[in-house]
Homo-oligomer: A and B are copies of this chain.
Amino acid sequence: MPNSHAPKRSVFFISDGTGITAETLGQSLLTQFEGLPTKATRMPFVDSVEKARQCVLRINAAHADDGLRPIVFNTLVSTETSQVIHAADALVLDLFQTFINPLEKELGLKSTHTIGRSHSATQNQQEYANRIEAINFSLSHDDGQTDKNLAEADVILIGVSRSGKTPTSLYLALTFGLRCANYPLIPEDFERDTLPATLAPYKDKLFGLTIQPERLAEIRNERRPNSKYSALENCRYEVHAAESLMRREGIRWLSSTTKSIEEIATTVMQEIKLERRVF
């Protein structure tokens, strides 16, 4: 067991862009060392030697404070600024440069060493417009607000209230530029025992989310405590009715109970065979 009084190891994510890639991969690596106490700092937009020197001062100060050598996840593209970082009193891991050399050899091309190419709006104006369009589409088609332009949807999520449709829709739009509508399945649908008529023509775009009734009751209770809406018995009824409906209509679905938004979104894309529209 790790000692909870142990000093925390300082971790830095350094990038000439947003640092989101460095942070995501770096944090993912650190989860391999369970219970390791860390203090993480993202250092974005490090696009000059002067800024790199300031990073080094902070890293070295952390070492002095903690008495532990910091860990630096470095995605700087420029060889010059990267060299400055390597002078820090830390373990510096090059998440980017490490792979440029083998790629250059394989492709028979020299890399451009252009900074800030990832997560940069200037890279492709059209892609950016598509992304904003997808967000607007998903927002206006959240929670069955409108039936307009459903033919333009890449995917239509269905499921009972609070099964994870809205976060998944927004994630698909923001991250992948996909136009995602979502429709709640409500008691009227269960009584009629068929899909809402507006959705019937788009069966190949439908994907269902379900959830454990116990978890659903917990989530709904936070929103409307002690209501019929959040009662376990009602949650059991709704989930059972929704799953029966989806099964009978041959709609693909998954249980969101133990899945993250990223996992749900990735599974939806696999099943509906959707490609991302933005990078």
Minimal Cβ-Cβ distance residue in B for A136: B166
Interface centre among A31, A139, A259 (most CB of B within 10 A): A31
Q: Is A149 an interface residue (CB 8 A)?
A: no
Contact A33 B111 (CB under 8 A): yes
Chain B neighbourhood of A113, CB < 8 A:
32
Across-interface contacts of A36 in B (CB, < 8 A): 107, 109
A258–B250 Cα distance when bound, in Å, is 45
Indicate the member of A27, A45, A109, A167 with the most B CB atoms within 10 Å: A167
Q: Distance in Å from the Cβ of A37 to the closest Cβ of chain B?
A: 11
The distance in angstroms between the C-alpha atoms of A25 and B29, with both chains bound, is: 14
Residues of B within 8 A of A135 (CB): 166-167, 170
Chain B residue numbers with a CB within 8 Å of A179 are none
Taking a contact as CB atoms closer than 8 A, the residue among B69, B139, B262 that contacts A119 in the complex is: B262
Contact B20 A175 (CB under 8 A): yes
The answer to whether A128 has its CB under 8 Å from any CB of chain B is: yes
Q: Would you call A260 an interface residue if the criterion is a C-beta within 8 Å of the partner chain's C-beta atoms? A: yes
Which residues does chain B contribute within 8 Å of A44, judged by CB atoms?
266, 270
| A112 touches B (CB below 8 Å) | yes
Binary CB contact string for chain A from 260 to 279 against chain B (1 if under 8 A, 0 otherwise): 11110111001000001001
Measured in the bound complex, the distance between the Cα atoms of B93 and A139 in whole Å is: 38
Smallest CB-CB separation from A17: which chain B residue? B263
Q: Is A4 an interface residue (CB 8 A)?
A: no
Cβ contacts under 8 Å, A258 to chain B: 121-122
Cβ-defined contact, A170 with B174, below 8 A: yes
Contacts of A221 in B (CB 8 A): none
**Quick one: given A100-B29, A170-B170, A171-B174, are A18 and B120 in contact (CB under 8 Å)?**
no
- Sampled A-B contacts (17; CB under 8 Å): A18-B265, A18-B266, A21-B21, A24-B118, A25-B25, A25-B95, A29-B100, A31-B118, A32-B103, A36-B107, A44-B266, A45-B266, A45-B270, A121-B261, A131-B167, A132-B219, A135-B166
